[in-house]
Amino acid sequence: MIGWYVHHHGWGHATRVRAILPHLDDEVTVFSSLPAPPGLPSHARWETLPLDADDIVDPRGARHSPRHFGDETARGALHWAPIAHPGHRARLALIADWAATTAVSAFVVDVSAEVTAFVRLLGVPVVVVAQPGLRTDRPHRMAYEMADRILAPWAEGTIPAAGLDHFRDRVRRVGGVSRYDGSDAGDGRGAGDAAGRRVLFLGRTLPESVRHRTATLLGEAGWTVETAGTGDGDRIDDVWPMITRARVVVSAAGQNSVADLAAANARAVVVPQERPFDEQEETARVLAAGRWAEVAPSSAEADEVAALVERAAMRTPDWRGWQVRGAAERAAAVIEEVRV
């Protein structure tokens, strides 16, 4: 049995495990505060963990911040371990109870320094999923030091990730992991639109007012505008058909988003979002330097974004260097390296 921890910020971590699961030949138990996504394979089950960042309710019914009872970082040694939080205790207890009664062969952590340390203390081999950005702080170093393998979901020579420099013997760079690896990207981008001018705004990438103004400018210039995941009313689980028919995709710089663009060999304008450790900023710098995509600052105004869409439409990027083909299978092979 393989265990897998999925962080609950956004859907990227859950998307990644869904891409890798079909390539694992062992049963997998996934632990996350997120609800179970649709379409899990039969050999995987999803255990929903209690939240550990909501308010603490004391016996008298008073509500307190999760930070109320002390330093949740243990003086900088950890990222998040709130004192006296019942949800935090319960989630770790659930993992421990499972590990105590299960023949665990390996555990993947995507991502949490605290879960990495906890699982390794239980005597289970750990694979830590790395992320871009400047991750040289104490908790990240602790997690990398304890990891039996560090799975980096990007290609060799792309993301610098200085925090991994001291752990090169355990780092495995597998390429960008996309759930659409192997899907047909087609050859009719923008087919049916005037001169193939169809643009897709993917996710909450731009402030709503900027996106609306950009869409207006592009519409006036003859573009057909589509959206997916930009608000509560247009969430779509399978965006592949929309990506592959768009002439240009406007996207954030998250790892899964970029891997999906690479799988589709898409023309793109990437807008890095503010994230801890400059995760998306680092990815965006790599994309700009490698001429994979046009990059707009998060502060970009509508006319700037519209101009970048026009520029992206004139380019033909070569995404082969992102090494999406076979990346999920290579990630599964990394897990296989540590199984006992």
Cα-trace Rg, the chain: 21
Q: At what angle do helices 255-263 and 279-289 cross, to 10 degrees?
A: 30
Q: Which domain holds residue 211?
A: 194-321
Asked if residue 278 and residue 334 are part of one domain, the reply reads: no
Q: Is residue 188 part of a domain?
A: no
Q: Is residue 13 part of a domain?
A: yes
260: closest CA among 3, 11, 5, 8? 11
Asked if residue 58 and residue 119 are part of one domain, the reply reads: yes
> Is-contact 284 227, C-beta < 8 A?
no
Q: Is residue 104 part of a domain?
A: yes
pLDDT value at 80 more than 80: yes
Asked if residue 201 and residue 167 are part of one domain, the reply reads: no
pLDDT of residue 105: 98
| CB neighbourhood size of 13 (10 A) | 23
Q: Pairing relation of β-strands 268-270 and 294-295? A: parallel
- The average pLDDT across 56-82 equals 96
Split at pLDDT 50, 70, 90, the class of 185 is confident
Asked if residue 303 and residue 212 are part of one domain, the reply reads: yes
Q: Is residue 182 part of a domain?
A: no
Q: Is residue 161 part of a domain?
A: yes
**What is the rounded CA–CA span in Å between residue 338 and residue 264?**
32
Split at pLDDT 50, 70, 90, the class of 10 is confident
pLDDT of residue 163: 94
Split at pLDDT 50, 70, 90, the class of 317 is very high
Query: 221-250 pLDDT, tens per residue?
Result: 999 999 999 988 888 889 999 999 999 999
CATH number for the domain spanning 280: value is 3.40.50.2000
Q: Is residue 271 part of a domain?
A: yes
Asked if residue 123 and residue 259 are part of one domain, the reply reads: no
Asked if residue 127 and residue 45 are part of one domain, the reply reads: yes
Asked if residue 198 and residue 148 are part of one domain, the reply reads: no
**What is the rounded CA–CA span in Å between residue 249 and residue 243?**
7
**What is the rounded CA–CA span in Å between residue 228 and residue 216?**
17
pLDDT value at 192 more than 70: no
**What is the rounded CA–CA span in Å between residue 276 and residue 278?**
5
The total number of structural domains in the chain stands at: 2
DSSP string, 264-291: TT--EEE-PPP-GGGHHHHHHHHHHHTT
Asked if residue 198 and residue 172 are part of one domain, the reply reads: no
Q: Is residue 189 part of a domain?
A: no
Query: 258-308 pLDDT, tens per residue?
Result: 999 999 999 999 999 999 999 999 999 999 999 999 999 999 999 999 999
pLDDT of residue 232: 81
Residue 274 Cα distances to 38, 97, 192, 215, angstroms: 28, 36, 36, 23
Split at pLDDT 50, 70, 90, the class of 97 is very high
Asked if residue 250 and residue 157 are part of one domain, the reply reads: no
pLDDT of residue 195: 52
Report the percentage of the chain scoring pLDDT > 90.
Answer: 91
Asked if residue 203 and residue 172 are part of one domain, the reply reads: no
Asked if residue 163 and residue 14 are part of one domain, the reply reads: yes
Asked if residue 23 and residue 89 are part of one domain, the reply reads: yes
> Is-contact 218 302, C-beta < 8 A?
no
Q: Which comes out higher in pLDDT, residue 279 or 11?
A: 279
Q: Is residue 185 part of a domain?
A: no
